[in-house]
Structure 1
Amino acid sequence: MIAYYRGLPGLAVQLDALARQDYEGSFEVIVSDNEGSTDLQRYLDRYPERERLRLRRVDSSDVAGTSHARNVGTRAAEYDFIAYCDQDDAVYPGWVRAMASAGREHDLVGGPLERDSLNDPVVASWRALPDPDEPFVMGRFLPITFGCNLGIRRTVFDAVAGWDESYPTAASDVELCWRVQTAGYRFGYARDAMVAYRFRTGLRETWPQAVEYGREEARVAKQYGAPGRRWWWFPIHAAVVAGTAPVWPWAWSRRRLGQWTWVTGNLAGRIRGSIRYRTLYW
């Protein structure tokens, strides 16, 4: 299932990746249109692998946000296991097979991300991704998977009331993962369910994303009582940010500017979130 908003022409990369799946069973691809785009419908009608993918659009444009789009798309699905991917990424050929296999034994499933396929080397260096060999534990609490690579049983989705739409974008995946697990359901990790993850390529787009991630992670950490990093992490992080601040930013390489922007934006977001939600989350 793909939550869609102003995703053309890049959506073709993800659809082409889904068309290359080696899964021998049947599946459908739902594009949940959070924009209300007539261009999208025309594009899907002409997509050459439409029949093979059982491709269809559902309208979720009544409420803005990825969480709402995913809820609408999930409730329109025909199958009892739902796998989510994003409009600007590309799943690996074995993704559906690996997700479906893990979904037979687990209630919620995640997989790894890689950064090199869809990003130029400079942009790929801006952010580190979690170790692909094991699930990522967020906030020293419980494992999570990212919304661009997440699978859930439909019965579990219904039992926990789906995605929390008060988290329209950032940290919605963390909140869902923790809610499912604290309700007693099983989390599984599908090592072979790899997704090529696309970063934002501009510094002006990267900064607000980093801030939003940090801020909303603080919110969900307070909601579930996650301790976050140990207290001494904050002064170390702050010292690194201050010590590497660009005195003459125009003399920095794009690689170094991008790395500093992401780290600093995430710290700023955690500080803002700690103030807004009256918690200490580093």
Structure 2
Amino acid sequence: MIASVVVAVYRGLPDLDVQLSALGEQDCAGDFEVILSDNEGSEELRDWAATHPLRARLNLRYVDSSDRVGTSHARNVGTRSANSDFIAYCDQDDAVHPGWLRALTDAGESADLIGGPLESHTLNDPVVASWRALPDPAEPVVLGRFLPITFGCNLGVSKRVFEAVGGWDESYPTAGSDVDFCWRVQTSGYTFGYAPEAMVAYRYRTGYRETWNQVIDYGREEARVAKQYGAPGRQWWWLPVHAGVSLALLPIWPWGWSRRRRGEWVWITGNLVGRISGSWKYRVFYP
């Protein structure tokens, strides 16, 4: 078995079926398994998985991780039940591209932790896709002017390394957990690799309020992990620049009333508010 794919699930239907269909189209050579780690403990999901038409192709298994709330806990439970020495993580509401698992496992032969890029056009309407710019898919993201990271929805790691660093930190239930995991692996002496062909179609939140809450969580928990690892973050002058962009996009004039403009403002301003909130909460300057 070349890999175990762990999907942390919480009230994942019906979007989860899109992800399983994408996993069923992987072009890799060799068998792999898919583990649904259910953080809700849903009988509906258990029964659904047991009768899923792709259960044989995916070697689909259900594990209950509802004893503690959080994506990090669900990933830990799923990983520790895995049968393969290579673990690949994806999320319930995205869709991996056909070459995703092949690219991750190939890159995993020469690095301990593997990342890949995201794209926004497959699962989102064009307006929602314009709200948030994704990083350049050709190279990894270096966050906080410190070390490269990959997102938890597109990450591969040796199970040996996972165990050596203690798995996912469950004090980061959701936001910030992937940054912490990537930096902990690298600061423990293990190597980071990047696979540009390991592409994932990423699904955005479509409501202003849920987008606002998500980006504030991101900014706040990035401040926490930056303090934990001593990452310098952006230079001080970025704060007034960020605030100026937020003010310029403020949708108070008629030409700013479009759904596109409002979504952009929510994302940019929410990120600023999250960073300020995290700086205050964790007593660190993280503009």
TM-score (normalised: structure 1): 0.98
Aligned equivalents of 1:17, 1:258: Cα separation in 2: 28
Say if 1:217 and 1:270, in contact at 8 Å, map to a contact too. yes
User: 1:192-228 CA distances to partner (integer Å, 9 max, x unpaired)?
Assistant: 1000000000101100001000000000000001111
Secondary structure of the residue aligned to 2:57 is: helix
1:260 and 2:252 aligned: no
1:19 paired residue number: 24
Aligned equivalents of 1:267, 1:85: Cα separation in 2: 27
**Aligned residue identity for 1:119:** N
1:277 paired residue number: 282
1:150-161 mapped onto 2 (5 Å cutoff): 150-161=155-166
Say if 2:256 and 2:262, in contact at 8 Å, map to a contact too. no
Q: Which of 194, 205, 208 is residue 203 of structure 1 equivalent to?
A: 208
Q: Which of 20, 39, 51 is residue 46 of structure 1 equivalent to?
A: 51
1:125 and 2:133 aligned: no
Secondary structure of the residue aligned to 1:216 is: helix
User: 1:231-273 CA distances to partner (integer Å, 9 max, x unpaired)?
Assistant: 1000111122123322258960000000000000010000000
1:70 and 2:81 aligned: no
Say if 1:249 and 1:257, in contact at 8 Å, map to a contact too. no
Aligned equivalents of 1:51, 1:67: Cα separation in 2: 27
Aligned equivalents of 2:85, 2:281: Cα separation in 1: 38
Structure 2 unaligned residues grouped into runs of 5+: 1-5
2:7 paired residue number: 2
Q: 1:249 to 1:228 in 2, by over 3 A?
A: farther
Q: 1:34 to 1:250 in 2, by over 3 A?
A: farther
1:55 paired residue number: 60
2:3 paired residue number: none
Aligned equivalents of 1:179, 1:45: Cα separation in 2: 36
Say if 2:132 and 2:267, in contact at 8 Å, map to a contact too. yes
Say if 2:249 and 2:261, in contact at 8 Å, map to a contact too. no
1:187 paired residue number: 192
Secondary structure of the residue aligned to 1:258 is: helix
Say if 2:85 and 2:160, in contact at 8 Å, map to a contact too. yes
Say if 2:249 and 2:256, in contact at 8 Å, map to a contact too. no
**Aligned residue identity for 1:242:** L
Q: Which of 148, 153, 163 is residue 148 of structure 1 equivalent to?
A: 153
Say how many residue pairs are matched.
282
Aligned identity (percent) is 70
Runs ≥4 in structure 1, deviation > 3 angstroms? 248-251
Say if 2:85 and 2:158, in contact at 8 Å, map to a contact too. yes
User: 1:75-118 CA distances to partner (integer Å, 9 max, x unpaired)?
Assistant: 00000000000000000001111111011111000000000000
Aligned equivalents of 1:184, 1:233: Cα separation in 2: 31
Aligned equivalents of 2:130, 2:116: Cα separation in 1: 21
**Aligned residue identity for 2:71:** T
Question: How many angstroms does 1:45 deviate by?
Answer: 1.5
1:72-87 mapped onto 2 (5 Å cutoff): 72-87=77-92
Q: 1:249 to 1:142 in 2, by over 3 A?
A: farther
Q: Which of 209, 214, 236 is residue 219 of structure 2 equivalent to?
A: 214
1:98 paired residue number: 103
TM-score (normalised: structure 2): 0.97
Say if 1:215 and 1:271, in contact at 8 Å, map to a contact too. yes
Aligned equivalents of 1:117, 1:126: Cα separation in 2: 15
Secondary structure of the residue aligned to 1:58 is: strand
Q: Which of 107, 113, 116 is residue 111 of structure 1 equivalent to?
A: 116
Aligned equivalents of 2:255, 2:165: Cα separation in 1: 49
Aligned equivalents of 1:117, 1:193: Cα separation in 2: 15
**Aligned residue identity for 2:235:** R
Structure 1 unaligned residues grouped into runs of 5+: none
